[in-house]
Structure 1
């Protein structure tokens, strides 16, 4: 996997498999480490070495596919082609699936989750034209159908707020199809098959501030202050006065992609707005909010 991609966020969670199985099942797991979509990637696989080797090969195939679809830094990726031409005909099924999830998350967060902010990134990088760029944004202007995905004039997308979670889910699904029953996938976000796995939630400023036990579910974490562009936090919204309210947000859900999108959007939302969004999301979705002063609370 390419190591040159700019990281969207500080890797705000660390993990260790502490084990909840019977002692006979606690043989040392097979691990793999690398990079995918600009983040550190790691697999923890409880399986015999030959099956673990097959799992690693399958995971690498999925991560390569994710980069070919969602990378902003590969000019041949599906996302780069869409941004360059404004239209993607016959979008590949995973790309269409992710775009439709973006639409659902945009609705669930009352428009706060918005992958159309790439023009804002570009304007900040240039050092000007931010307000003009903001007027080009808006997921509601993006047309998503099975035949094509079409952008409004001047638009460009970034999936940095959801693609790592989606890639994590792609890997978990592929390893599940191999019959694996106890794995932890970290492709920028975490997803487990089986468990339990102990996940530490960490913030760039405050360090590890909580721990969670993960079994068959996913956790995604966002820290707005982990990456800044000309003084601006890396999590952006077309409404320029909507800025991050939390130091770190960690969301647990059944889907890593959903958790990733939610953690991104929740950084920009008040506690009341987050509670309303949780009511629209699948049952069992929860969020831990770390305030700038180090205080925390869990909703859902």
Structure 2
């Protein structure tokens, strides 16, 4: 099966009360006060670097964050065979689901409903179809045949999913969930929350998605570049998530992208890059996926359900728009 090969950088710069903030992006080897963890997060190699004047506190925080990353991956990841999500997909049901799974599915339902189905975690059968197609010899570069796409679409529909604190159930054989379009944001929110609880007042966390808490050490906003837009945004207590069809294509340039419309089964082509700024990283993550399949008026309607949220995008012909 075709699989994305990625390396995820997880960077944390943090300052607690009375402690100076070290420059974000400093190379760990050049910063003796940095504490580094390397492992895996949501199917990708990952690195976490915590810059903090109190080295012992940094070590303790890194250990806790690494443990939390591992714990949540064992709930949300498709790359862990015995994760809660993998068990659900294999059996079609999961009893006594973890609280975090229900929390994230509830947010998925909100984004799914507000986007009229443009965001739908049950899109996994469609993604698996494309992966199988492009793993075969002499695969049609245009993608799977229409009848195959329609068969996969028959298994897509978040509204069919039943879940509560006691059980999650997929009603049709062959249905499956992927949380890859939102779990990184959830993980980012969780790590920032842990830092806040530990007394950290200002931080920038990049865990696939970016979330800022407070400001830089000099009082200025955090500045984050959006490569696909050639733009820079200032963040104070906000998150940003960016998605692009060019982030992964099944068979190189011009082939279908990993962003697949759960309503039509076709690859995203409307925009070259979509970035969403929102108070939380999980919401920004899910919305950035949905917006790839919506025209500007539909995006404006979607944003009505998510206060303090903005969208910046680059259309396929190079035009740049700001919505919200």
TM superposition score category, shorter chain reference = 0.7 to 0.9
> Any idea what the Cα deviations from partners look like across 1:37-73, whole Å, max 9, x if unmatched?
1455544544522222222112111111121011111
Give distance in 1, aligned partners of 2:67 and 2:180.
20
Asked if structure 2 preserves the Cα contact closer than 8 Å seen for 1:16 and 1:197, the reply is no
Give the aligned partner of residue 70 of structure 2. 64
Q: Which runs of 5+ in 2 are unaligned?
A: 25-33, 134-143, 216-220
Give distance in 2, aligned partners of 1:186 and 1:14.
5
- Compute the TM-score of the two structures, normalised by the length of structure 2: 0.81
Alpha-carbon distance change, 116 to 7 in structure 1, aligned in 2, over 3 angstroms: farther
Give the aligned partner of residue 112 of structure 1. 118
* 1:55 and 2:71 aligned: no
Give distance in 1, aligned partners of 2:11 and 2:65.
18
Give the aligned partner of residue 20 of structure 2. 25
> Any idea what the Cα deviations from partners look like across 1:120-147, whole Å, max 9, x if unmatched?
1111122252220111111011112111
The SS at the match of 1:181 is strand
- Give, in angstroms, the shift of residue 15 of structure 1: 8.8
CA-atom RMSD in angstroms: 2.8
Asked if structure 1 preserves the Cα contact closer than 8 Å seen for 2:35 and 2:59, the reply is no
Q: How does 1:256-267 map to 2 (within 5 A)?
A: 256-267=281-292
Give the aligned partner of residue 6 of structure 1. 4
Asked if structure 2 preserves the Cα contact closer than 8 Å seen for 1:14 and 1:201, the reply is no
- Give, in angstroms, the shift of residue 31 of structure 1: 6.0
Alpha-carbon distance change, 214 to 42 in structure 1, aligned in 2, over 3 angstroms: farther
Give the aligned partner of residue 134 of structure 1. 153
Q: How many aligned residue pairs are there? A: 287
Alpha-carbon distance change, 96 to 251 in structure 1, aligned in 2, over 3 angstroms: same
Give the aligned partner of residue 255 of structure 1. 280
Question: Structure 1 residues 237-246 or 69-78, which shifts more?
Answer: 237-246
* 1:37 and 2:57 aligned: no
- Compute the TM-score of the two structures, normalised by the length of structure 1: 0.87
The equivalent position to 1:197 in structure 2, one of 213, 219, 222, is: 222
| Relative contact order, higher structure (CA 8 A, sep 6+) | 1
Give the aligned partner of residue 78 of structure 1. 84
